[in-house]
Amino acid sequence: MFGSKWVRCSVLLGTAVLAAASWSATASPARAEDVIRFGAPLPLTGPLAPEGIKQKEGYDLWAEQANKAGGISVGGKKYKVEIVYSDYQSNTPRAVQTTEQMITQDNVNFLFGAFGSGAAKAASTVSEKYKVPTIAAAASSVQVYDQGYKYFFGTFTPNDTLTTPLTQIVKAKAPDVKKVAILARNDLFPLAIAQEMEKSAKANGLEVVYFEKYAIGTLDHSAALSQIKSLSPQWIFITGYVNDLLLARKQMVDQEIKAPVVTMIAGPAYRDFIDSAGKSAENLTSASWWHPAEEYQGKDVFGSTSNFVKLFHAKYNYDPDYGQASAAVCGALFQLAIEKADSLDRDKVRDALASLDVVTFWGPVKFGANGQINSLEPPVFQIQNAKPVVLFPEAIKQGDLQLGVN
Amino acid sequence: MWLTQVLINALVLGCLYACIAIGFSLVWGVLNVINLIHGSFIVLGSYLAFGLYQTLGISPWYAIIVAAPLFFVLGYLLQFLLLNRVINAPVLVTLTMTFGLDLILNNAMIYFFKADYRKLTLSPPMGSVSLFHAVVPIDRLIATVAALALTGLLYLVLRRLRVGRAIVAVRLDRDAAVLMGVDVKSIYAVAFGLGAALAGCAGVLMALVYPISPLTSSTFLGKAFVVCVLGGLGSVSGALAGGVLLALVEGVGTTFLGPEHATTLSFVLLIVFLIVRPQGLLGRKGFE
């Protein structure tokens, strides 16, 4: 009795879902002649959703600004920008699928890369196969770019460009720092950056006394931190995402672990980390690919860094971090390349991207032979008085390294 | 020296794990329902504590008093109105039901609270005390004591109160309990309500220790699952024993094998228990 009711319900539900799916497929606007379509596969639900949503905000802001200025001009004609989104649910195999779907069914002209190095690399095989120029907004690992692909570009410099300047600053300002302890989230980017840190520490004559990984979803760092404390390093370097780093920082305070230098990547680049960590965020150092405190005068649709921050704030009512900025600059770069090529031909736009050499609100942009940006100097910064202060590069420096994290 | 620290950390963490798991264990043991909404209840409890502290300045210690009845009513109604309708269906149906409810609650929390991580930071901070040459944070210590108190309270309810005896009776033999005049449906609702109340209280305590976000619910649920299997289903003291065992294995594993292997070790232990001692540390065989 009950069983049949249950079956009937599920059949009804299934039909409804199918109907909804087919409706949404037909409801998406038909391809118009004066529109350029950009495909953006994103993790809009699932564990990576916060990052995926940030990227969407960046793309949306660019599309809005580009359209407000009349669109992208090709051959004397203005084309409106349209972004086609698909949610791959934080599931990498699905990112590959939706990317293919966007090319073959949604007929997008160009693509943005999937989120993070892992998914971007996986999806890049598809875009390369169909020769669709793609710019990845959040892929830093060199392994993504060393596949010999021609149509794939990225706006993040290699991970060592974050750790090397940081190590050099610490070495110059804190000669007493000799021992480094590194604790890394066992995840593509956090682990890669920790390994780079290990390399640059060794290259600069520092001793790495502790290097361990913790699993994704770790609920307790106390055992690892106790061990670190017993080794009394002068520099503690922890990688992970906001939740991991908030927990690790709290447990450091709990166990009264102090060090002259404490670096956390990527938490302090985010406003919610600084707000949540409160006083314990003081004097933490970090590095990222972009920071709203920078000041570049660019030739892109946003003009300058401060104008980008202003426009972003007006639309979303908070300050952008490097995630949203990178997404927005990907759009702006496509716009510059398409206008330079003066064509929608994928090969011509690809060549225009490869030969791009321009300053944007993101900083100077020039892609290397492998497609990865090689012109950017990522900023090193420190939280001082609850505000991020840029320590490097020299041109946009706002303060000096302060020692002592208690 | 730091080994003492590791052991004390593990004991404290074990009590927190027990606190996460005990409501889950009760519901699974009595109702034979794998309650997948448990993790989201914990997170909702954390948001309650966070909200009360941020807006009204109510300390999380008092928030427990608000959370317990609130979550009890929520759990009671959920069981009474929804789950009781499918309680006699195969276990997969109740599992699917709680899975669906969890999706709804979790996404509602993402919608209303956003997925950003928040932190309940007491001002002034509570600091730490020194115990056997080891540093123990006071907030964790209080959470430990509260976890022990909640466990003890549940033990007393199940042993001493009429409703508690009825819950145990239903757990032991449902048909016999019906013959003795126990209203099984309302006992189910009470048990589920108690489970939800314990989850809510655990959430309030966790707010002091962990960053708060709807995304952490699955992590809590995973821990609860392991603790239950280790300790024994439906057993109050089993949850405590399972929690401490899990935390000890994780702590010692982290120290000697590195933190990345702590999780591996705890799941190996889980598999070993499932093969060698499926009833758990303190569970009794044939107690379904």
Residues A276 and A313 grouped into a single domain? no
Same domain, A113 and A171: no
Are A265 and A325 in the same domain?
Answer: no
Interface test with B, best of A209, A243, A321 (most B CBs within 10 A): A243
Residue of B nearest to A271 (CA): B116
Is B287 within a domain?
A: no
- Is A403 contained in some domain? no
Do A216 and A313 lie in one domain? The reply is no
Question: Above 50 in pLDDT, residue B199?
Answer: yes
Chain B contact set for A212 (CB, 8 A): 258-260
Report the pLDDT averaged over residues A103-120: 92
Residue A406 lies in a domain: no
What residues of B are in contact with residue A53 (Cβ under 8 Å)?
Answer: 115
Nearest chain B residue (CA) to A231 = B2
Domain boundaries, position A387: 160-288+379-396
Q: Retrieve residue A169's tokens.
A: 């600053």
**A150 within a domain of the structure (yes/no):** yes
Q: Taking CB atoms and an 8 Å limit, are B260 and A250 in contact across chains? A: no
Cβ <8 Å between A255 and B260: no
Q: What is the pLDDT of residue A8?
A: 54
Token duo for residue A165: 């300047």
Does residue B283 belong to any structural domain of this protein? no
C-beta atoms of A212 and B260 within 8 A: yes
Q: A316 and A282: one domain?
A: no
Q: Do A222 and B2 touch (CB under 8 A)?
A: no
Mean predicted confidence (pLDDT) in A261-273:
87
Q: Measure the CA–CA gap between A156 and A289, rounded to whole angstroms.
A: 6
d(CA A333, CA A322): 16
A169 lies in the same domain as A203? yes
For B35, the domain range is 8-114+125-276
Query: Same domain, yes or no, for A166 and A231?
Result: yes
Across the interface, whether the CB atoms of A229 and B2 are under 8 A apart is answered yes
Of A49, A53, A215, the CB nearest to B260: A215
Judge if A278 and A304 occupy the same domain.
Answer: no
The per-residue pLDDT for A3 is: 44
In a domain, B188, yes or no: yes
B263 Cα to chain A: minimum distance (Å) = 7
Mark whether A261 and A323 lie in a shared domain. Answer: no
Please check whether residue A342 lies inside any domain of the structure: yes
Residue A268 pLDDT exceeds 80: yes
In-domain check, residue B108: yes
Give me the residue from A212, A222, A256 closest to B9, CB to CB. A222
Q: What is the pLDDT of residue B1?
A: 64
Give the gyration radius of chain B's Cα atoms: 19
| A26 belongs to a structural domain | no
Q: What total of structural domains would you count in chain B?
A: 1
Predicted pLDDT of residue A188? 78
Looking at the domain assignment, is residue A183 inside a domain?
yes
- Please provide the average confidence, as pLDDT, over all residues in chain A: 88
Domain-embedded: residue B3: no
Residue A151 lies in a domain: yes
Average pLDDT on B53-61 reads: 87
Q: Do residue A218 and residue A239 come from a single domain?
A: yes
With respect to residue B282, please indicate whether it lies within any of the assigned structural domains: no
Contacts of A52 in chain B (CB under 8 A): none
Question: Crossing angle for the helix pair B236-257 and B2-31, nearest 10 degrees?
Answer: 140
CATH, residue A82: 3.40.50.2300
Look up the CATH number of the domain holding residue B25: 1.10.3470
Measured in degrees and rounded to the nearest 5, phi and psi for residue B88 equal -90, -5
Find, among A48, A56, A114, the residue nearest to A324 by Cα.
A56
pLDDT tier, A22 (very low <50, low <70, confident <90, very high otherwise): very low
* Cβ–Cβ gap B259/A222 under 8 Å: no
A153 φ, ψ (degrees, to nearest 5): -130, 160
Pairing relation of β-strands A261-265 and A235-239? parallel
Percent of chain B's residues with pLDDT above 90 = 25
Between residues A52 and A20, which one has the greater pLDDT? A52
Where residue B288 falls among pLDDT bands split at 50, 70, 90? very low
Backbone dihedral angles phi then psi of residue A191, each to the nearest 5 degrees? -75, -40
Same domain, A319 and A225: no
B288 within some domain: no
Lowest mean pLDDT among A74-78, A226-230, B223-227, B251-255: B251-255
Is-contact A346 A134, C-beta < 8 A?
A: no
Question: Is residue B133 one of the residues assigned to a domain?
Answer: yes
Looking at the structure of chain A, the number of domains it has is 2
| A234 and A98 fall within a common domain | no
Q: Does this complex have an ipTM over 0.90?
A: no
